Amino acid sequence: MEHGLLIVERAPQGYAVLTLNRPEAMNALSRRLREELAAQIEALEADPAVRVLILTGAGKAFCAGLDLKELGAGGEGSAAFAVQVRDPVRALERFSGPVIGAINGAAITGGFELALACDVLLASSEARFADTHARVGVMPGWGLSQRLSRAIGVYRAKELSLTGNFLSARQACEWGLVNRVVEPAQLLEQARALALDMLSVIPQMLVDYKKLIDDGFAAAFADGMQLEAERARQANAAVDAGDIERRRADIVERGQSQKSK
């Protein structure tokens, strides 16, 4: 289904694919696209049939960031007004299930921030990442200054952000920014396969475990350990031993199946 500047696909297995659809503008985030993206993510969060989200871009770029032509025109397209519209990054943060970023091409500045807001990143070999905030004279407002250093280390983050240099997909993988690099033709196929793997776990665990990881990561280590202990006590008290044994048998069977491939 095409909805404005987005292509929305709801797969019957329980995941959805959101494709930024301004290939002629490297999927730059115009005011309208930001509004539509946030609205669609919120709609998918409200749909119980959608438990995993895949975010990607049409054409050769993932996302070139905010639409600089629109910002330069002033008025509702100005940089000051840009922070007042619906926020797609916050919408991604509020999506309770996993978000897989299928980074098909350049992810620049605001596009880099979109990528960093995902839970797992798969990158095409043609993907590149750059933080050009310091080059265009705008401070990041979607978390890049904090997320990037936590993902790759503060020294590497400073190198990228204080130069505006591009990072290749291969280097991003070596630095731990992306989970793996695949050939362009296989990117969505692998993202869909990963979504199905995630959908094979216990549905509520998909939400609760993601939240535990995120909440703990945002806290000091000791606080995160305490948080895990508290939630484990609450959740595990309701677990039936018989269910665990049955699920363990399924896990062994699944492991043998994967080993044979």
What residues have CB less than 8 Å from 99, skipping those under 6 apart?
52, 53, 54, 55, 92, 117, 118, 119, 120
State residue 72's pLDDT score.
61
Distance CA 106, CA 63 (A): 6
State residue 68's pLDDT score.
80
pLDDT at 138 over 60: yes
pLDDT tier at 253 (50, 70, 90 boundaries)? low
Using alpha carbons, list the distances in angstroms from residue 99 to 8, 55, 58, 96, 114: 14, 7, 18, 9, 11
Distance CA 239, CA 233 (A): 10
**What average pLDDT does range 3-14 have in this prediction?**
92
Model pTM score: 0.90
State residue 81's pLDDT score.
45
pLDDT tier at 149 (50, 70, 90 boundaries)? very high
State residue 261's pLDDT score.
56
Find the helix or strand (DSSP H, E) in which 189 lies.
helix 187-199
Residues 89, 94, 98: CA angle, nearest 5 degrees: 95
State residue 85's pLDDT score.
65
**What average pLDDT does range 196-219 have in this prediction?**
96
pLDDT at 251 over 80: no
How much is the mean pLDDT over the chain? 91
**What average pLDDT does range 109-118 have in this prediction?**
97
What are the structural domains, with CATH classification, of the chain?
A: 2-199 (3.90.226.10), 219-259 (no CATH)
Quote the tokens at residue 205: 């665990």
State residue 240's pLDDT score.
76
**What average pLDDT does range 190-203 have in this prediction?**
97
- Phi then psi for residue 89, to 5 deg, are -70, -45
Residue type, 93: E
pLDDT at 206 over 60: yes
What's the first-to-final CA gap in the chain, in angstroms?
34
State residue 83's pLDDT score.
52
Confirm if 97 and 143 have CB atoms less than 8 A apart.
Answer: no
Distance CA 35, CA 42 (A): 11
pLDDT at 128 over 60: yes
Give the pLDDT confidence of 88-108 residue by residue, as tens digits.
999 999 999 999 999 999 999
pLDDT at 235 over 70: yes
